[in-house]
Amino acid sequence: MAEEREITTSLEPPQDIEAEKAVLGSMLQSEDAVMDVTDRLRAEDFYLREHQEIYKAFQDLCRKNVNIDLNTTYSQLRSRHTADFVGGMVYLSRLSDNAIVPGNAKYYAETVLAKSNMRQLIKEADEMRAQAYDGQNSADIILDHAEQRIFEIAHKTQKRNYTDINEVLVENIKQIQELERNKGQLPGITTGFTDLDKLLGGLHKTDLIILAARPGMGKTAFALNLAGNAAADGASVIIFSMEMSKEQLGERMFATAASVEMEHLKRGNLTQDEWMSLSEAQDSFENCKIVIDDTSDISVLEIKNKCRRRKAEAGLDLIVIDYLQLMSQQGFKSGDRVNEISAITRQIKILAKELDCAVILLSQLSRDIEKRPNHKPQLSDLRESGSIEQDADIVIFLKREDYYAEDDDEVDLSRQSNTCEVHVAKHRSGSTGVVELAWIGKYTKFGNLERSIL
């Protein structure tokens, strides 16, 4: 092991000094080269400390709106007290003279960035190794940090701390023009339900959508319907189920797509027509990009890692998590469940933004709803609420009258078995309201009604 460590530490870090010189020399000669490079490289991307200092002087001059040349750079280095350290005017002149083709500055910069990325990968691997030997953190935490850092390196772009409002408005105009060109097309991911799409504009990327209901109300069926409809429209979907197995989810999606009764599927008691419907339903899923993970004790860290990999492998538009109260977050003591749930929802919101995906997170409602005469769900009914309402961009409740039929003599029995109210109780970017959908329990299926928003 000691011999292996000696070999490892004796290796020279990846670098390309000539490319670094070419970048700096090009910037000394050409204003176009300056513009090509400054959006790509940071000072830390240069291997030699001297080159880092020269690039920092360039950055200072750019911030002051001063043209970069030999004299201004040397003056800036003197004000930074690093002129002698980098070799003074002699070394700057040599850099400028050796810049072969300033127009290739972009290519030189990409070479420097590639070497920098390699050094960062080595650094992350060393840190992961040190943490593994240290034993202070769990393997899950170490792996999550390492995978996140490697993901960032792989998709590295030059980040700025702020964006000018005019740039933001230009992007807004582009989006509006794109919507105008695509009139009649949904701006977000379709839910498959006409009235709900009208109200929400579809499911938008980076949004955290909380789907909540009492147990047995149909929230899993509704989430699967949403996932199936989105995938049929071309979206890439991943489903995390902590309560039901992948086979059970498959049965439900089969019953919905084929309009075959769940009881018939469970008993294997199917007619020839039903077998034909199942075959056609199976064919309809052939090109759908849906994957299912039924790990029962999955953590937020594992979900993040699996979603990152799926995004890199096949793209990812929609994440469905069933359900919040079965999830865990490391670092919380027993009895601190409200804060733990708050931490989970915050991490999932960050995940939605990081991966540019819509996330549907299922949640239970408290029993308080059953104490009200009309059983109308409210945001305060979110179980172990904490920051669930705060982190959510959209909160959707499901309410079926037949669910309370045995306990409520005032329920409209003529509608109790075939409708479901979808309450959009919070919509950060739009209106709230109630949409009524058809509910066909034997197929675990929701459908459109010829009705508008209530």
Taking residues 129-139, what's their average pLDDT? 83
Give which of 342, 352, 272, 266 is closest to 311, Cα–Cα: 352
Beta strand pairing status for 433-440 and 445-447? antiparallel
Q: Is CATH 1.10.860.10 the classification given to domain 2-154?
A: yes
Please tell me the least confidently modeled range out of 173-177, 191-195, 214-218, 433-437.
Answer: 173-177
Whether residue 333 is predicted with pLDDT greater than 60 in this model: the reply is: no
pLDDT digits (tens, 9 = 90+) for 97-108: 876 677 788 888
* Tokens 């460590």 belong to residue: 5
Please tell me the least confidently modeled range out of 160-174, 234-248, 422-436.
Answer: 160-174
Whether residue 380 is predicted with pLDDT greater than 80 in this model: the reply is: no
**268 — pLDDT class (breaks 50, 70, 90):** confident
The whole-chain average pLDDT of the chain stands at 81
Cα separation, 269 vs 267, in Å, equals 5
Q: In what order do the strands lie in the sheet with 318-322?
A: 289-293, 236-241, 318-322, 358-364, 208-213, 394-399, 419-427, 433-440, 445-447
Task: Identify the pLDDT of residue 48.
Answer: 94
**92 — pLDDT class (breaks 50, 70, 90):** very high
Residue 129, both tokens: 């190794």
**154 — pLDDT class (breaks 50, 70, 90):** low
Is 171 labeled as catalytic in the residue annotation?
no
Task: Identify the pLDDT of residue 31.
Answer: 83
Whether residue 6 is predicted with pLDDT greater than 50 in this model: the reply is: no
Domain extent listing, the chain = 2-154, 187-447
Q: Domain 187-447 carries which CATH code?
A: 3.40.50.300
- Rounded-to-5 percentages of helix, strand, coil across the chain: 55, 15, 30
Cα separation, 317 vs 336, in Å, equals 33
Taking residues 66-86, what's their average pLDDT? 92
Task: Identify the pLDDT of residue 317.
Answer: 92
Q: Give the phi and the psi of residue 237 in degrees, each rounded to 5.
A: -130, 140
Task: Identify the pLDDT of residue 415.
Answer: 46
Q: Give the chain's length.
A: 454
**247 — pLDDT class (breaks 50, 70, 90):** confident
Q: Give the phi and the psi of residue 23 in degrees, each rounded to 5.
A: -65, -50
Please report how the helices 70-79 and 88-98 are oriented relative to each other, as an axis angle in degrees rounded to 10. 140
pLDDT digits (tens, 9 = 90+) for 300-326: 877 887 888 888 888 899 999 987 877
Residue 134, both tokens: 């240290």
Whole-number Cα distances in Å, 343 to 19, 384, 450: 45, 12, 41
Q: Which of 66-70, 256-260, 388-392 has the highest mean pLDDT?
A: 66-70
Task: Identify the pLDDT of residue 136.
Answer: 83
Whether residue 10 is predicted with pLDDT greater than 70 in this model: the reply is: no
pTM above 0.85, yes or no: no
Whole-number Cα distances in Å, 230 to 147, 201, 234: 28, 13, 7
Q: How far is CA 56 from the centre of its chain?
A: 34
Q: Do 368 and 413 contact (CB within 8 A), yes or no?
A: no
Cα separation, 146 vs 124, in Å, equals 7
Taking residues 270-277, what's their average pLDDT? 85
**81 — pLDDT class (breaks 50, 70, 90):** very high
CB neighbours (10 Å) of residue 279? 11
**256 — pLDDT class (breaks 50, 70, 90):** confident
Task: Identify the pLDDT of residue 8.
Answer: 47
Secondary structure E strands in 207-311: 208-213, 236-241, 289-293
Residue 79, both tokens: 């004000």
Task: Identify the pLDDT of residue 298.
Answer: 80
Percent of the chain with pLDDT over 70: 85
More confidently predicted of 246 and 145: 246
Contacts of 273 (CB under 8 A, 6+ apart): none
Percent of the chain with pLDDT over 90: 19
Whole-number Cα distances in Å, 342 to 210, 329, 336: 13, 10, 10
User: How many helices (H) and strands (E) are present in the chain, helices listed first?
Assistant: 18, 9
Task: Identify the pLDDT of residue 163.
Answer: 66
Give which of 18, 397, 439, 87 is closest to 213, Cα–Cα: 397
Q: Do 394 and 239 contact (CB within 8 A), yes or no?
A: no
Q: Which of 50, 243, 389, 421 is catalytic?
A: 243
Give which of 246, 193, 229 is closest to 317, Cα–Cα: 229
Taking residues 128-136, what's their average pLDDT? 84
Q: Do 313 and 352 contact (CB within 8 A), yes or no?
A: no
Strand, coil or helix: what is 67? coil
